[in-house]
Chain A
């Protein structure tokens, strides 16, 4: 009986966050502009005769997604500080984990939106072929994103009531982001270079394990992070 309620409350929180974001467009617009800006700057700034586009594209793709995700995650709990809505959420007779899961779902939808813009732009600006590897590439992006957004959403809850939330989140998040990001960059490089899928299966497995471990940990740790 607990799980359906947990998921229903999580969805209630997530759909509210997405509706607020849809109305204000605060995070998605700034993040989308940031993504386009990074691609433009790198496109004009690098010498393709020194480093090939296929070699450069994975790093740029993941740097862009990472910063875009941090911008979006910073906003997740700041929204709840407006009019002290966080106290209302904590007072509601719901599992506190459902607040975390709701925020995680909303953050994933936002970051996925940015990634759906980013992948075609990458193909356009860097002239790399993504269509032949689209399925595995999307699976890779999804697995890597779930991992670092799960950790980032937890840290966002921890830092949001501090004076330096914008600074603390990336600092705390960095050590936890390095493993999934490095695996994602390496696997993306192999994919875009047209190497066989068997070469990235190991990284996909590690990303899946990372996701399971950190989503589970975050669900259990979240209630402690919001207690006064």
Chain B
């Protein structure tokens, strides 16, 4: 479903990706942990096709249409309502009107946004904006989700709800790559764990029942 082969990319003298390879099957979630500047966001942008790697290749079954992106920036227009934003993005993904209405209603209920559908995004709290961003990313029913620090700015309850939603999606067969610098946030969601440093995977393995504490300890050992 998602394949990265020997990815390499540099920005000037800085090597952001150095020989990164992995593959994900439907329902699998890879959590990539690393300090700031490790190359995590570059990895996601390469997987999304926003950056063309200088070497190697990234392939997502279904191409760009199959990708949903959730970042710490919501990619929403503040002057538009939640509904208008969702309709705009659905139109770009050629989602038919009848499907759009079904998915929009289902997502708004699932994310607790049904009372905010006609409110402008600029009027929403940070937590509600992030929920609307999740709805935007899922409105075209992507098979692969790319998540860049998605818990940034969320309160504990909203973060827990996002974790639940991602778990449900994984159970339905969606593959995800989650990058974050905070080990406590994503470990439980992952089927696979990677630790990234200076553009390389210092560790890549199935989670194999490791809890957040164990993952945290492994992270410290691998990155230190």
Contacts and interface: CB of A to CB of B under 8 A. Distances in A.
Nearest to A11: B91
B13 interface: no
A228 B51 contact: yes
A40 interface: no
Interface size class of A (residues with CB under 8 A): 20 to 34
B148 to A, nearest CB: 10
Interface in B72-127: 73-80, 84, 88-89, 91-94, 120
B75 A85 contact: yes
Interface stretch (B28-36, B62-70, B183-191, B210-218): B62-70
Q: Which of B80, B91, B120 has the most CB of A within 10 A?
A: B91
Interface residues of B, number: 29
B73 A93 contact: no
Contact of A93 (B50, B52, B63, B71): B63
B64 A93 contact: yes
Contacts, number: 68
Contacts of A84: 71, 73, 75
Contacts of A9: 91-92
A211 to B, nearest CB: 27
A87 B79 contact: no
- Provide the main secondary structure of the chain A interface: helix
A5 B92 CA distance: 10
A33 interface: no
A82 B71 contact: no
A20 B80 CA distance: 7
Q: Which of A20, A79, A91 has the most CB of B within 10 A?
A: A91
B144 to A, nearest CB: 12
B48 interface: yes
A171 to B, nearest CB: 25
A12 B86 CA distance: 12
Contact of A19 (B45, B65, B84): B84
A16 B94 CA distance: 16
A87 B92 contact: no
Interface in A115-172: none
B49 interface: yes
Interface in B38-59: 45, 48-52
Given A16-B88, A227-B52, A228-B50, A91 B64 contact: yes
A83 B73 CA distance: 5
A92 B84 contact: no
B64 A85 contact: no
A82 B121 CA distance: 12
A87 B64 CA distance: 12
B74 A83 contact: yes
A5 B74 CA distance: 26
29 contacts: A5-B94, A8-B91, A12-B91, A16-B80, A19-B79, A20-B77, A20-B79, A23-B80, A82-B77, A82-B78, A83-B73, A83-B74, A83-B76, A83-B78, A85-B75, A85-B76, A85-B77, A87-B69, A88-B69, A88-B75, A91-B48, A91-B49, A91-B50, A91-B67, A91-B69, A93-B94, A94-B92, A228-B45, A228-B51
